[in-house]
Amino acid sequence: MNAKQLRLVAILLGLAVLFYLPRLFRDDGSAGSIQVGDGFAFSLTEPPTRVDVVDLAAGDTLRLERAAAGWTVDGYRADSVKVTQLLDALPDLTSQALVARNPANHASMEVGSSSGRRIEVYTEAGGPVSFHLGARDLSQGGYHVRSPDEDAVYRLEGPIGGYLTRDRDAWRVRLIASVDTSMVRELVLRRDGVEAVVRRGDDAAWSIDGAPADTTAVVGILRMLPSLSASGFPTDEEAVGLDFAEPGASLDAFASDESDVTGRRLVLSLRLLADEDRGDWLARTADGAEIYRLASFNVDRLLPEALLP
């Protein structure tokens, strides 16, 4: 066989590889498909509104799950905005940026079966459809990704990598309460055995036992109530055994309500326990189950010394 014939054979083999290789790397399923022969592609046949569960497995599994009252993360309320960001970005993920073919690189890139994160998506049609999300590509940006049972590793760009590497607390709702302060007519503050009842009069002036209250201190409270947010969350171990039946401090806010015989309606009942070890406070609403952390300076604003002498 002469050189010309050898070149022709090489060309034909190359064309055959290019034509058939993509077909060798297809995996269709009832809920979606994974393709890597001509690049990485993660796709769902169901729209985001039909995604029911997203499991983020990195050692322990973090589960985002659709519930009747909205999305949850490991059973806690999840931030709907953050979940929407993920669902909008999830259906079609593609990359042509091949960074490795050798499975020996999987561990260092954190896309091995026991490293990084395995993303599993379940829709109403079934599942899971999954892929491995690895470490950040520090030289080029993005994250390393690999489809299951394939050796090729690609670089996935865009915000999706940041969404999928959030920990549980980053998915949780930090808003403790949102109170319409224009309707608030009474505040009951308790701390260290001292109680103060602050009332708003018909002239909009605030008073304690008929004497004018410190306006600056009252305004400080009212500015926090429309968006009272946590600084963080206790661990499950820290939350066990906490008793809010006899809190170290509390704040109750009442709005005017002519339909009630008392003429007022409770709009917020916040219970607080001091965490001496951490130097902050643990908080829970009287009608809620979730426990939050509040920074000490925020508790000082909610229960100011100027109103609790």
For position 241, what pLDDT does the model report?
87
Ordered by start, the domain boundaries in the chain are 3-171, 175-302
Rounded distance, CA 122 to CA 61, Å? 14
d(CA 205, CA 172): 38
Q: In 157-263, at which residue ranges do the beta strands (DSSP E only) sit? A: 175-177, 184-191, 194-200, 206-208, 211-212, 228-229, 249-256
Find out if CATH 2.60.40 is the number for domain 175-302.
yes
Residues of the chain with pLDDT under 50: 9, 17-31, 33, 35-36
- Per-residue pLDDT tens over the stretch 10-66: 555 655 544 444 333 333 334 454 544 578 999 888 888 899 999 999 888 999 999
Q: Which residues are registered as beta bridge partners of 249?
A: 191, 272
DSSP letter at 99?
E
pLDDT score recorded for residue 20: 45
Q: Whose CA is closest to 125, among 72, 51, 55, 67?
A: 51
Q: Is 261 exposed, middle or buried (0-12, 13-18, 19+ CB in 10 A)?
A: exposed
Report cis status (omega within 30 of 0) of the bond before 226: no
Q: Which residues pair with 292 in a beta bridge?
A: 283
H/E stretch holding 70 reads strand 70-73
Residues near 111 by beta carbon (within 8 Å), at least 6 away in sequence: 132, 133, 134, 144, 145, 146, 153
Task: Give residue-wise pLDDT tens across range 94-117.
Answer: 999 999 999 999 999 999 988 889
pLDDT of residue 182: 92
Residue 31's beta-bridge partner residues? none
pTM: 0.80
